[in-house]
Structure 1
Amino acid sequence: MSRILIVEDEAIIRGALRRLLERHDHEVSEAGGVAEARELDPQRFDLVISDLRLPGEPGTDLITLAAPVPVLIMTSYASMRSAVEALKLGAVDYVAKPFDHDELLETVSRVLHQQATRQAEPPAVTDEVGQRQTMIGNCPAMQVVYSRIRKTAPADVTVLIQGESGTGKELVARALHQQSKRAAAPLICVNCAAIPETLIESELFGHEKGAFTGANAARTGLVEAADRGTLFLDEIGELPPDAQARLLRVLQEGEIRKIGSVETRHVDVRLIAATHRDLHSLSKTGEFRLDLYYRLNVMQIDLPPLRDREDDILEIADALLAKACRRHDREGLRLSRAARRVIRDAPWPGNVRELENALERGVILAESHLIHPDDLGLAAPPRQSAAPETRVMSLDESPEGDDDADTDDLSLEDYFQHFVLEHQDQMSETELAQKLGISRKCLWERRQRLGIPRKKGPRRSAG
């Protein structure tokens, strides 16, 4: 139930608005002005609805007082100017009085939904070896994922997770299980693409002794092993037709029958499925049962590919790098600026899994305390050709005397060394510094760091 604060000096309008919102399951408080609203602490609410013109302070003052709670402004002066001014000051939206009830309710619902999505916290997940980690990323697409996990996990419904390979579908499945009512029961994870087609039914549903050649003993299937818990079927689009029919019965009737048995058993299993394929399109070609698709797709969570998470890529890379450094006992390794640029711009068709492999490669191959693009096995993004002066100026990316100059890219240091050695016989230190676009002090510091001795000119005789 959402908590809404109404700030309106006219009691009749305030009362009517309160009744309207309470009929739609909102918890409502009232204030006659900004001072009264301040006493109620507007930050405790999910939404503030305020008249623009109030006795004393204007309603727009609540935008700052309530932040980060959204403020919806009401105004009798439905001019574009007043609306624009309110929005400029930070109002989430405005409605004109007299307002249409349906329009107001729709606006309130939309604002509350957006606020809930923005406030979604990344869930913490315990992996298969017992290590607890928080899902990384705060881009809008991942905020939607976190919100969907939070709402779906307790609902005990079937979930279909869709996304490209390597986007973290199993991590989402673990989060759903661990935040559900079944968290104390087992989570059984199965990759349908990793089991031979001839064995998949036996693995999932079990078999009796002698059911087929090689069945020397009865075996419990993975569906039954997940009883009272959660079964996660990754790459469910690879499930053969016969297994699809058996799985449909599990979802419809909650029953399984082992291969070679005439006896059915009841199971209480929550199913979470994942795929990188379009199951609806597969159903049109007969590769996937349409009735099973509808049974699976009660709730859907779409994971964005890494290339669409530009704001998250470097944060994910830093977290994966720290793990790789601990694993290989190489604490203190960092990504060079060139490596960070390449990571940010790479298309990552293999998504997070490909990024993790590249960083592990970098940790193993790095010669110094910096990891460069060559260590990652990634090609640097193509650069446009530039005039020599432009290239030289890029040497001084950091401010003069910056203590963090050792993070300069190796390619730039090579160019600096080559330029100085080639021209120092013909140029003074001042001329060299001018050509490189840096100060004499910075030139001297770079010489010291790179071990380039200063060329001494011939001594002039006195007299």
Structure 2
Amino acid sequence: MSHILIVEDETIIRSALRRLLERHQYQVSEAGSVQEALERHTPAEFDLIISDLRLPGAPGTELIQHAGERPVLIMTSYASLRSAVDSMRMGAVDYIAKPFDHDEMLQAIERILSEQPSGQAPTASAVPQSATAGQTDLGIIGRCAPMQDLFVKIRKVAPTDSNVLILGESGTGKELVARALHNLSRRAKSPMVSVNCAAIPDTLIESELFGHEKGAFTGATAGRTGLVEAAHGGTLFLDEIGELPLEAQARLLRVLQEGEIRRVGSIQSQKVDVRLIAATHRDLKTLAKTGQFREDLYYRLNVIALRLPALRERESDVLEIADAFLVRQAERLGLERLSFARDAQMAILRYSWPGNVRELENAIERAAILCEKPEITAEHLGIDVELEEMDASYEDSGRHPATSDSSSNEPTEDLSLEDYFQHFVLEHQDHMTETELARKLGISRKCLWERRQRLGIPRRKTGTGE
């Protein structure tokens, strides 16, 4: 059994992480600061250390020099993403952006532990047991013909260095495909740097991606390494690339054409070796024709295009995915095995799932929480024919758990990381603007909006200005 140390000053996140890992058969110890961690524990006794970057007193990167050969996984937010990249330069094995979901954390832990020469193979699997043996190396469920065809293409494309464009609606799992491409490539032991282009303000995107020199702009008191440079030798995954400003597109084109970058404020270029994987839910070809996306960049990206089918196009997979989510929710809530009643199965099959896999996961989480018996009915799911004809409204009672409990001022220690995000927003949105909420969470306003949409958190209608 692998032993993991969690160093996090926020009690809710630390407790949620501990429960998540213990449910997946990891032995867990915890601390609220670097000083507490070093006073109470010896780093050598752990197989992995997971630490927040910003902690009271010394930063989480201080643990790297004390950890020796033990891997340190840094948790950070988009607001401090550059610092996370710096921490990798200092020896951190990887970083993970907050807020993150359970699967993302479990996959990162499993990958890190499996790569350690002296570490044991992790006992928990990020791939649901219902997946077939041929799919476990990809970590994606899919028996339907479109997904099987996609798996074949992934295995053919992964060993190459060709640019890949992943197309699909929001919530279809584009980052899972990107991760599979990276894990099956020759770059698997190098970092995969993921960037949500929609989550970084336009004014900072060039500096974030390509870095900057000291004095390049107001506030640039020191030079910074960009995310493209941080991915040197590995994979750069640009999610929602359709949101990338035209100026940054021109710089990215140079990376693809010449294999080099130039930091903001610098006159010198430097070589980089990265494999680019991009993803979008938008029609880049149409955007290119209307001048909203560079046509030359589009053709550079579109060397190999992989299309992820919407959930409504995967009828033979829907129940299998739902069963995998149900098993996960039962484990998470400490319940005995749950099952779907016949009417629930029919509702899952007949509903169009406009939010795709993410909406399905949220509906099942809601059902698992609300059901009083081991059998989940269609009523627990909160979906019906009328929902298919409605707009994706945040006020739709079937899209998210009842907010009367979530908005309570007394959070329980059983809150998950997603629950923590929801609780924070619902608790503070009456007296904080969207800008203030985003700043406190360490994300951009656009990222806050996206997470509201993904988790089904309605934006409170108030008369206050932003």
Gaps of 5+ in 1: 1-124, 383-463
> Normalising to structure 2: TM-score of the pair?
0.54
| Structure-2 separation of matches of 1:372 and 1:223 | 48
Q: Which residue of structure 2 lines up, in the alignment, with residue 83 of structure 1? A: none
State yes or no: 1:137 paired with 2:117: no
State yes or no: 1:208 paired with 2:188: no
User: CA offset at residue 340 of structure 1?
Assistant: 1.2
| Structure-2 separation of matches of 1:330 and 1:253 | 55
Q: Which residue of structure 1 lines up, in the alignment, with residue 327 of structure 2? A: 322
**Alignment partner of 2:152: what SS?**
helix
**Alignment partner of 1:160: what SS?**
strand
User: 265, 268, 281: which one pairs with 1:260?
Assistant: 265
1:381/1:312 CA distance change after superposition, 3 Å: farther
User: 154, 162, 165: which one pairs with 2:170?
Assistant: 165
| Structure-1 separation of matches of 2:349 and 2:243 | 32
1:138-164 Cα deviation digits (max 9, x unpaired): 111011100100100011110011111
Q: Which residue of structure 1 lines up, in the alignment, with residue 251 of structure 2? A: 246
1:195/1:163 CA distance change after superposition, 3 Å: same
User: CA offset at residue 126 of structure 1?
Assistant: 7.7
Amino acid at match of 1:215: A
| Structure-2 separation of matches of 1:164 and 1:355 | 14
Q: Which residue of structure 2 lines up, in the alignment, with residue 57 of structure 1? A: none
Q: Which residue of structure 2 lines up, in the alignment, with residue 186 of structure 1? A: 191
User: CA offset at residue 328 of structure 1?
Assistant: 2.0
| Structure-2 separation of matches of 1:313 and 1:241 | 38
Q: Which residue of structure 2 lines up, in the alignment, with residue 151 of structure 1? A: 156
| Structure-1 separation of matches of 2:282 and 2:109 | 29
User: 217, 223, 227: which one pairs with 2:228?
Assistant: 223
State yes or no: 1:232 paired with 2:237: yes
1:305-332 Cα deviation digits (max 9, x unpaired): 0001111100010011111222222231
Q: Which residue of structure 2 lines up, in the alignment, with residue 127 of structure 1? A: 107
**Alignment partner of 1:292: what SS?**
helix
| Structure-1 separation of matches of 2:203 and 2:333 | 39
| Structure-1 separation of matches of 2:282 and 2:219 | 33
| Contact kept? 1:162, 1:301, Cα under 8 Å | yes
Amino acid at match of 1:169: K
Greater Cα shift, 330-339 or 173-182: 330-339
User: CA offset at residue 262 of structure 1?
Assistant: 1.6
Q: Which residue of structure 2 lines up, in the alignment, with residue 103 of structure 1? A: none
1:379-417 Cα deviation digits (max 9, x unpaired): 2679xxxxxxxxxxxxxxxxxxxxxxxxxxxxxxxxxxx
| Structure-1 separation of matches of 2:174 and 2:288 | 22
| Structure-2 separation of matches of 1:342 and 1:198 | 45
User: 192, 197, 200: which one pairs with 2:202?
Assistant: 197
**Alignment partner of 1:127: what SS?**
helix
| Contact kept? 2:336, 2:374, Cα under 8 Å | no
Amino acid at match of 1:359: I
User: CA offset at residue 129 of structure 1?
Assistant: 4.0
User: 167, 174, 179: which one pairs with 1:174?
Assistant: 179
> Normalising to structure 1: TM-score of the pair?
0.54
Larger radius of gyration: 1
| Structure-1 separation of matches of 2:386 and 2:322 | 18
| Structure-1 separation of matches of 2:273 and 2:194 | 16
| Structure-1 separation of matches of 2:336 and 2:386 | 28
User: CA offset at residue 359 of structure 1?
Assistant: 0.8
| Structure-2 separation of matches of 1:194 and 1:322 | 32
| Structure-2 separation of matches of 1:334 and 1:262 | 62
| Contact kept? 1:142, 1:304, Cα under 8 Å | yes
| Contact kept? 1:127, 1:174, Cα under 8 Å | no
User: CA offset at residue 128 of structure 1?
Assistant: 3.2
Q: Which residue of structure 1 lines up, in the alignment, with residue 362 of structure 2? A: 357
1:40-76 Cα deviation digits (max 9, x unpaired): xxxxxxxxxxxxxxxxxxxxxxxxxxxxxxxxxxxxx
| Structure-2 separation of matches of 1:360 and 1:291 | 43
1:185-227 Cα deviation digits (max 9, x unpaired): 0011111111111111111111122222222322111100100
**Alignment partner of 2:261: what SS?**
strand
User: CA offset at residue 374 of structure 1?
Assistant: 2.5
| Structure-1 separation of matches of 2:202 and 2:281 | 19
User: CA offset at residue 294 of structure 1?
Assistant: 0.5
User: CA offset at residue 232 of structure 1?
Assistant: 0.5
State yes or no: 1:279 paired with 2:279: no
Aligned residues: percent identity?
63
| Structure-1 separation of matches of 2:126 and 2:380 | 29
**Alignment partner of 2:215: what SS?**
coil
Q: How do 1:31-46 and structure 2 match up within 5 A?
A: none
| Structure-2 separation of matches of 1:167 and 1:137 | 12
| Contact kept? 1:373, 1:380, Cα under 8 Å | no
| Contact kept? 1:257, 1:264, Cα under 8 Å | yes
Q: Which residue of structure 2 lines up, in the alignment, with residue 340 of structure 1? A: 345
1:380/1:368 CA distance change after superposition, 3 Å: farther
| Structure-2 separation of matches of 1:138 and 1:126 | 23
| Structure-2 separation of matches of 1:315 and 1:358 | 15
Amino acid at match of 1:257: R
**Superposed CA RMSD:** 1.7
Q: Which residue of structure 1 lines up, in the alignment, with residue 308 of structure 2? A: 303
How many aligned positions are there? 258
Q: Which residue of structure 2 lines up, in the alignment, with residue 288 of structure 1? A: 293
Q: Which residue of structure 2 lines up, in the alignment, with residue 269 of structure 1? A: 274
1:367/1:126 CA distance change after superposition, 3 Å: closer
1:212/1:333 CA distance change after superposition, 3 Å: same
**Alignment partner of 1:135: what SS?**
coil
Amino acid at match of 2:215: G
1:18-37 Cα deviation digits (max 9, x unpaired): xxxxxxxxxxxxxxxxxxxx
1:244-288 Cα deviation digits (max 9, x unpaired): 000000000011111111221110000000111111110000000
1:372/1:291 CA distance change after superposition, 3 Å: same
**Alignment partner of 1:155: what SS?**
coil
| Structure-2 separation of matches of 1:137 and 1:184 | 26
| Structure-1 separation of matches of 2:291 and 2:244 | 13
Amino acid at match of 1:158: N
